[in-house]
Amino acid sequence: MMSFSPLEWQIVRFTLAVCAFSTLLILPVGLATAWLLDRYHWPGKLLVETIVTLPLVLPPVATGLVLLKLFGRRGPIGYFLSQHFDVDVVFTWRAVVLATAVMSFPLLVRSARVGFQGVDQRLEQIARTLGASDVRVFFTITLPLASRGITAGIVLAFARAVGEFGATIIVAGNIPGRTTTLSLEIFSAVQLGHDATAYRLLIVCVVVAFSAVWLSEVLMKRRSMG
């Protein structure tokens, strides 16, 4: 029962690769957003906070529809990319990356922000008295001291990406060998009555999600104890 077919292996590899890529893609933007939200007050901050949180509360299908309208060939961003860079997004692997990135972005930002909040800013000041520039302080003091929150955010974002379904199916479709992810394939297998396939892929999902959440909890506990 546990032997995977070549197609199932391809789906597992594709899902993990796409989710890892989308997590890496949102990492710098997510860290910058979390840091700016934690450390500064600026006009429009509340609006950005709300927009960042929206994918958590909107139905994923609705988020997918917004992305489809924006990145479709006739959408403002999709048209621009198609005309100037000859790049199509929707119904390609890029759409899977886009959907998973947007859906997991809030989780990364929220966890990273908790990480930054936990950094004793007096230590950053001490580093400055020792001659460190703001950039050096960020990379040698702030980032390492916030690392548990950041790591937890990365793990949660990756796990959310693996489990993403609603937005992905709207913006990327379910094209075998091109955009089919674990979640989409489980859905198809159940629809077609291929229970064995569904269960095998379900186990992969459970293992990935369990490992991610467990790791995140361990890191958060170590942070609160340390």
Q: Which residues bind another protein (CB under 8 A)?
A: 122-123, 125-133, 140-141, 144-145, 226
DSSP summary character for residue 139 = I
Residues 6+ apart with CB under 8 A from 138: 35
Least separation in angstroms between CB 129 and another protein: 4
Least separation in angstroms between CB 218 and another protein: 18
Cα 34 to Cα 121: distance, rounded to the nearest angstrom? 15
The DSSP-derived string for 151-176 is: HHHHHHHHHHHHH--HHHHHHT---T
Least separation in angstroms between CB 133 and another protein: 6
Helix (H, G, I), strand (E, B) or coil at 198: helix
Cα 53 to Cα 197: distance, rounded to the nearest angstrom? 34
**Nearer CB in complex with another protein: 137/198:** 137
Angle at 18 between CA 146 and CA 116, to 5 degrees: 10
**Nearer CB in complex with another protein: 20/218:** 218
**Nearer CB in complex with another protein: 1/135:** 135
Cα 7 to Cα 9: distance, rounded to the nearest angstrom? 5
Least separation in angstroms between CB 225 and another protein: 12
**Nearer CB in complex with another protein: 73/221:** 221
**Nearer CB in complex with another protein: 29/126:** 126
Least separation in angstroms between CB 117 and another protein: 16
